[in-house]
Amino acid sequence: MSSVRVLVVDDYEPFRRFVRSTLGKRPELQIVRGASDGLEAVRAFEELQPDLIILDIGLPTLNGIEAARRIRALSAESKILFVSQESSWDVVQEALTSGGLGYVVKTHAGSELLAAVEALCQGREYIGSGISVPNRTGFTQTQNSVFDQEPIPSPSRGNCAGSHAVQFYADDDSLLVGFTRFIEAALKVGNAVIVLATASHQNDLLQRLRAQGLNLGAAIEQGIYIPLNVEEALSTFMVGGLPESVRFRKVTSELLATAAKAAKGENPRIAACGECAPTLWAQGNADAAVQVEHLWDEITKTTNIDVLCGYVLSSFQHEEESHIYERICAEHSVVYAGDRDE
């Protein structure tokens, strides 16, 4: 990055010192002034025209969101990063609508502040962790909290053997968080990604990945991000309610060859996440789900591919279905049990 002039706005002086110390690790980041309230921030912006404003929300005289609106009215060029103790998704949305390009919860600033600043300086959005987001039932949970007690499935690097992991999630929102992190990690190291999901999940994943600063339009155009409708994918190899192995291998080999050509970086691999088997299981076709998992497992033994299958836990809550759960686990090399009740 070239030199970036930064205005730091927070009414707590020790936190401003923390920001100075953190940004001081990057010589190209030059703090031009600190401010302790919203009106002072607007005046300092008019005088100094900084490239980046690090802005708290709970400020005296004029709150950070209103200050952002006034700054944005003065200039559409300067980038605003909110760093606040507020973690409500409603507050985050209002902050971003007011002109913010990024948001970091203060409790995560130690690990996320520099990454957020770098993203904004490159013209990308940054939404940090620790944000309470509403799920489809109307309740809220902390973003990424489903992983607090479990390892996070991550794509591999290099030419090691493939992997076939399964993760069980509490609800749709948790599944989307898991897939987002898996896809983001793969794209960042140059791996091509195949996503087999429902139409609604595909749309949600696009929004979440864009919020992480990924250029999905370019990735799709380059062929390194391949989103496929799971129902359409199943129709290419299902015969009489069961997967036909020859068709399955033909379809997947062509798909993997296309993805491998697009993969970039040193020792690129392919990552795939999806809902083929989970969709069959949800339709009551457990035998087909197990067979599909077995076919994917065979592919990972001979291909540099990392596969993550995602199941919502409610599918396995009935005691009489626990044997299906065990059969599905047996078809994977790694099992992340999530919050499943034993």
pLDDT tens-digit readout, 244-276: 999 999 999 999 999 999 987 666 789 999 999
Which residues, at least 6 apart from 217, have a Cβ–Cβ distance to it below 8 Å?
Answer: none
**Helix orientation angle between 199-211 and 172-188, rounded to the nearest 10 degrees:** 50
Rounded mean pLDDT of the chain?
Answer: 84
Residue 43 pLDDT > 90, yes or no? Answer: yes
Average pLDDT for 92-96 = 88
Confidence at residue 327, expressed as pLDDT on a 0 to 100 scale: 85
Q: Is residue 275 within 8 Å of residue 201, measured between CB atoms? A: yes
Tell me whether domains 4-134 and 146-336 share a fold.
yes
Give the residue with greater pLDDT, 281 vs 320. 281
Residue 101 pLDDT > 70, yes or no? Answer: yes
Give the residue with greater pLDDT, 194 vs 164. 194
- The CATH class of the 146-336 domain is alpha beta
Is residue 158 very low, low, confident or very high in pLDDT (cuts 50, 70, 90)?
very low
Domain range annotation of the chain: 4-134, 146-336
Is domain 4-134 in CATH 3.40.50.2300, yes or no?
A: yes
Confidence at residue 56, expressed as pLDDT on a 0 to 100 scale: 96
pTM of this prediction exceeds 0.75: no
